[in-house]
Every structure is written in C-alpha cells, then in structure tokens.
C-alpha cells in the first residue's frame, strides 16, 4: 500500500470540493477535518447531529473513526488529534466528552492541539487526525 488511496466511508457526505475524507499512503493515514454531520442521505444537504456540543463531538468522533477503519487503522494508531472549537467556554465540556469517549483506550493516547477558530454557522467542533500504522 505505497500508493495513495482515498478513504471514503459509505456513510460520509461527498466532500464539498476535490479533497478526500482521508488518505493513506504506506503507513501514514491522514483524516481530513471532520464535523458533526450525520451519515449522508442521498438528495439531502449535510445535517449536523444536533445543536449541542455533545451531539456534534460524538458524531465527529464517529466520522473520524469510520475513516480510520476504512484505511485499516483504529484510534490506537492515531498520533495527533487536532480539535477546533469555536468557543473557549466549550473546553471543559469537550474534555469531559473526550475522556468518556477514550476511556477504554489501552495504548498511549494521541497528542492533541486545541485552538479556537471560526467555523461555518451551526458547527461547534471540527477534528482531524494523523495516524501512523504498524
């Protein structure tokens, strides 16, 4: 697998431009910025899982995970998680959801950077990830 391969889980909405939801080449897997969109429904615009940080964060994790798995990886292989929030006041709640989600991790957790940026209206969180496979 030294060729660059696009990772496009069937559950995902089509990217809004000529990029891939994830790519793998050799043992490197990069997940594109994911947001809390529900699984794609043909003919329907992408829809966030809900208005709350919790709903969007859990859906975003699910979307990242689907891409990792499409590429033969899992959270265990993830080296870096970039979290983009829109509001500094969401940090504590995001961390609580994060810890809950990763409670069962048995390997070293990924490194992480969290910064506060602008996102399209209605979106509260965006996450991308870099994985290195065995």
CA 121 – CA 8 distance, rounded (Å): 25
Closest CB 27 distance from a second copy, rounded Å? 8
Phi, psi of 55 (to 5 degrees): -60, -45
Residue 27: Cβ within 10 Å count: 14
Closest CB 43 distance from a second copy, rounded Å? 20
Closest CB 107 distance from a second copy, rounded Å? 6
> Interface with a second copy by CB under 8 A: which residues?
2, 4-6, 15-23, 25-28, 30-33, 76-77, 79-82, 84, 88, 91, 94-95, 98-99, 102-103, 105, 107-121, 126, 128, 130, 132, 134
Structure tokens at 127: 């996450």
């Amino acid at each position: 697998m030294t060729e660059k391969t696009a990772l496009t889980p069937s559950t995902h909405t089509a990217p809004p431009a000529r990029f891939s939801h994830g790519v793998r080449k050799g043992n490197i897997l990069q997940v594109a910025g994911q947001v809390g969109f529900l699984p794609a429904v043909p003919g329907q615009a992408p829809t966030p899982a809900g208005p709350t940080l919790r709903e969007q964060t859990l859906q975003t994790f699910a979307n990242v995970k689907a891409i990792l798995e499409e590429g033969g990886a899992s959270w265990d292989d993830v080296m870096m998680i970039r979290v983009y929030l829109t509001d500094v006041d969401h940090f504590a709640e995001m961390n609580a959801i994060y810890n809950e989600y990763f409670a069962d991790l048995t390997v070293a957790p990924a490194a992480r950077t969290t910064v506060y940026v602008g996102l399209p209206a209605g979106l509260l969180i965006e996450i991308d990830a870099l994985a290195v496979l065995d």
